[in-house]
Structure formats: C-alpha cells, structure tokens
Amino acid sequence: MKTLNLVGAQWGDEGKGKIADKLAEGLDYVVRFQGGHNAGHTIYLDGKKIVLHLVPSGILNPRCLSVISHGVAVSPEAFSQELDELHLSGVHVSPQNLRVSANCSVITRFHRLMDEAREQQSGEKIGTTGKGIGPCYEDKIARKGLRLSDLSSKGQLAKRLELNLREKLVLLEKLYRIPFPSIEEEVGHLFHYGERLQEFMGDTFSLLETAERKGQTILFEGAQGILLDIDYGSYPYVTSSSTSYSGVYSGAFVPKSGIDHVLGVAKAYLTRVGEGPFPSELFNQTGADLQRIGGEFGATTGRIRRCGVLDLPLLKFAKKVSRMDSLALTKIDVLSQVDELKVCHAYRYEGKTIDSAFPGIDLTKVTPEYISLAPLPKMIAQAENFVELLELKEMRDFIELIEKALNIPVGLLAYGPNREALHFRQKYFSK
C-alpha cells in the first residue's frame, strides 16, 4: 500500500486527526486536499492538546512532509496564527516539513465578512463556521478568486482584489450594510501575512507526482465528512468543497492506478454541528450524555455538537460515495458509557423501507427504524483491557452489525483521545 485516503464518513468530527497522526508515523507525505481552517483536528500529544486547522496531521511526525495542496482554501492570517500556535506548543514547522501549493485559493477578510453577514442576515442559516470558506470557493468557481501566488507582488494583488471585489463591495455596502476594510488596507493585510507564507510555497503537484514515481507513501487526509460534501452531502447544509474521495483527484493529484485504500472514519454514534436534517438525532438523556461524556463541542467554533444514534443508511451511502475499503470506528469508550444502545438500520421513505441513503434523498422526510442492542461493556478512555473487552459478545455484535451492513471490515477502533488509544485489526501501509 502506497496511497491511502482517510475520509470522514459522517458530518465531520469523526476523530480523523488522531488516526492521520498515527498512520503518518513512518510515512513520506500527508496531504490536505480540500477545505480550509474550518477543520479542527484535535490530537493529544504527551497529554498536550494540539488543534490543527489547516496544517496536515503529519506535522507531528518529524520525518513526514506535510503538504497543503491546491484544493485547499487558505487564509494567510489563519495560517500564520496556526504556525505561531504550533511553535508555542513546541512543534517545529519549516519548509522542510511543510509545503503549500502556490495555487491554493486565498480567503480574504471580505470572504469572512460575507460569510458572517449571510449567516446573520439572510434568514437561511447554514450554520457555517464563519471562516469565509463558502464565499472563497464561490470566487474560485466564478474565476475571480485570488491565489497564493498573487500575494508575492502588491501590484498583482491590488489588481486581482479590485476585480474580485467589484460586486462584493456593493453587497456589503448596500445589502448587508456592514463596515469593511478598504482595498488598500486589504492589500497591505494580505501582503503582510503572505510574506510569512512565501518560504513554504511551491508546486505541490509535481512534488506528489515525483513522490509517486519514487514509490513513496502518501496519506491524503480528508477534512469534514462525506455528508458535508458539496455534491454528495445533505445539500444545502454542506461545506463548499469535495470532502469525499473524489476531492483528492481535483484537489491534489491523480495517482496512476487510483488510491490503494480508502479508510472511512465514523464515530460509534453520530454528531453534527450547524443546521440541517439529522434523522437519528437524540433529544433525550442519552443524547445529552453522549454530548457531555464525548466532549462534543466543535474544535473550531466551540459550538455544541448535536448527538444521535449511528445511522447505517447514511454510512452505507458514504461507503459507496467514497468507495471505502475499511472503516475506523471511533469513540467506542464514549458509547460504552451510556445505558441505551440503538442503531438506525433503515428508513421508511415514500412508502418503502430502504437501507441506504442516496443523492437527493429528503432527510427531513425519512422515518428512521432502529434496532436495540445490549449496551457495550463499560470502559474508560484508554482502557488497558480493551483487547479483552473486544472479545465480549456485546462488542462483537455491535461491530458485526456494522460490518455486515457495509460489507467492509472495521479495521481500526479508537477508544480514547490519546494517539495510543487505537486498536488496529488490519494493516495499513506496512504497519
């Protein structure tokens, strides 16, 4: 195995960061290919909490080269802040272990203002992270966005920004009526933070192409989750990038014979931040317990995550969308601490029973059908007897139910926040 795509199989926050960090041990490259600093990957290193937003999770492994490829939307200011935070946490970052594509789209302060204004004023709240992700990708598709390479000359920057802002200024002034910086101020701001980026910038496509030719190992680290994908997700309550497997191809690089393995990551239950339908959402004590015990707060915005029951029709759909080869099941320890265990195995939808979601399904109109299982054996995070617990019938029944429904193995289980609380049931790369 030379290439692996780690992909969120739900609505994000599945615990991908820790898995990426663990898999990255001994790898050559870890690549972010979509999204931006709306992501929040939390990793506990020697008891210290490190939250990565834009920087790939490979950064904690000294011999691994972390790459931010052209599909990522980069806020130069957020990038700079993240470098400062990593430095304060004792993580060494330099062009030797981090590269950024010069073709990444730039998130400006205007994008953030647009994002916030729409959320506050439009009456059609998506519940975004407010980081300017959507407006930035809109400009990219509209062919009037800025790229990181534009930041190296103030003249070029001013030219691109003027073009970019022609329509936006009217909206900010006349529709949303909010204060915004002048073009000159924004040029200065972007140029200032852009300078910090210069040494990291380059052609990451050729870097990856060469890596493939040399037979090096590459982990493509997805952010958010498949159900937030712009094309396959629960539209319009989605993010603005291709979070699924296909995003690797447009956002980073197309390996000659495809990607060797797609590893989906799913929580043993389900969470969602922001607005949008959530068929198996819990409004009872179990939901409140999962939220509290699981510490279900957004890593980027601190918002409370809505909690629900594992939804197999959605997970099956995610498997098909990203051609998942195996599944990592996370937060087993949290699920074990609640007294009630239910799984949604099918939906009643338009007079029929269906066991998989599909593009365009109206999730507000489905009636989930549940099966009840015996609760998992109680365990604490990092349980030392995890392997023994895994042999107990309740655990086996739960895992088998998922494997049978998806027809792929649960190759990995996570049972605590530390990078050591991972149990591998199959090999990834050579480990």
Instruction: Give the DSSP letter string of 344-399.
Output: EEEEEETTEEESS--TT--GGG-EEEEEEEPPPPP--TT-TTHHHHHTSHHHHHHH
Yes or no: say if 289 and 328 are a contact pair by the CB < 8 Å rule.
no
What is the nearest approach in angstroms of ligand IMP to the Cβ of residue 230? 10
Yes or no: say if 310 and 318 are a contact pair by the CB < 8 Å rule.
no
228 binds ligand IMP, rule: CB under 6 A: yes
Nearer of residues 13 and 21 to ligand IMP, judged by Cβ:
13
- Select from 33-41, 72-80, 85-93, 335-343 the region that touches ligand IMP (CB under 6 A): 33-41
274 binds ligand IMP, rule: CB under 6 A: yes
Give CA–CA dist 5/222, Å, rounded.
Answer: 7
40 binds ligand IMP, rule: CB under 6 A: yes
Give CA–CA dist 179/181, Å, rounded.
Answer: 7
Output the six-digit token pair for 200: 């990291």
Give CA–CA dist 397/401, Å, rounded.
Answer: 6
260 tagged catalytic: no
127 binds ligand IMP, rule: CB under 6 A: yes
Yes or no: say if 229 and 130 are a contact pair by the CB < 8 Å rule.
no
What is the nearest approach in angstroms of ligand IMP to the Cβ of residue 361? 18
One residue of 10, 61, 164, 224 binding ligand IMP per CB under 6 A: 224
DSSP type of residue 418: B
Yes or no: say if 141 and 105 are a contact pair by the CB < 8 Å rule.
no
273 binds ligand IMP, rule: CB under 6 A: yes
58 binds ligand IMP, rule: CB under 6 A: no
356 binds ligand IMP, rule: CB under 6 A: no
12 binds ligand IMP, rule: CB under 6 A: yes
13 tagged catalytic: yes
- Select from 72-80, 232-240, 325-333, 417-425 the region that touches ligand IMP (CB under 6 A): 232-240
128 binds ligand IMP, rule: CB under 6 A: yes
What is the nearest approach in angstroms of ligand IMP to the Cβ of residue 408? 23
DSSP type of residue 279: T
Residues contributing to the site for ligand IMP (CB under 6 A): 11-13, 38-40, 126-129, 131, 133-134, 223-224, 228, 237, 239-240, 273-274
Catalytic (active-site) positions: 13, 41
